[in-house]
Amino acid sequence: MTDSCIFCKIVSGEGKATIVYRDEQMTAFRDRHPVAPTHILIVPNRHIESVGTLEAKDEQLMGHLFTAARKLAEEEGISEGGYRLITNTGSNGGQTVFHLHVHLIGGQRMRYPMG
């Protein structure tokens, strides 16, 4: 937990969000400013800044985030049509919240760069 991190606060329950799934490793909640009909953020419960600070011990966790994305996409009914997973990394990558997250975006035909 990092005191000033908004996603750590959501994970701990201190920050408000519409949580759609959680387990001992990760939390998934709806983005505050959705760019598509489905826009869910999938985050590790442990504070990891970005892909730029991942370590070998995080490999199972990262796989878990993607398996969760697949399940959430099925629950949202967007699997068949397809969807987009995005992990912005660092300022040039467009990252604005420095707690690693995977955007699950779908429910419409995607354009670039985001929705």
Q: Which positions are annotated as active-site residues?
A: 101
Asked if the peptide bond before residue 113 counts as cis, ω within 30 degrees of 0, the response is: yes
Closest approach of Cβ 109 to ligand 5GP, in Å?
19
47 binds, among ligand 5GP, Zn ion, none (CB under 5 to 8 A by kind): Zn ion
Q: Which is nearer to ligand 5GP, 57 or 112 (CB)?
A: 112
If one asks whether residue 5 binds Zn ion (CB under 5 A), the answer comes out as: yes
Distance CA 26, CA 49 (A): 14
> Closest by alpha carbon to 39, among 1, 76, 91?
76
Q: Which is nearer to ligand 5GP, 7 or 73 (CB)?
A: 7
If one asks whether residue 101 binds Zn ion (CB under 5 A), the answer comes out as: no
| Residue 11 DSSP SS3 | helix
If one asks whether residue 46 binds Zn ion (CB under 5 A), the answer comes out as: no
Handedness of CA 68, 72, 75, 81 (dihedral sign): negative
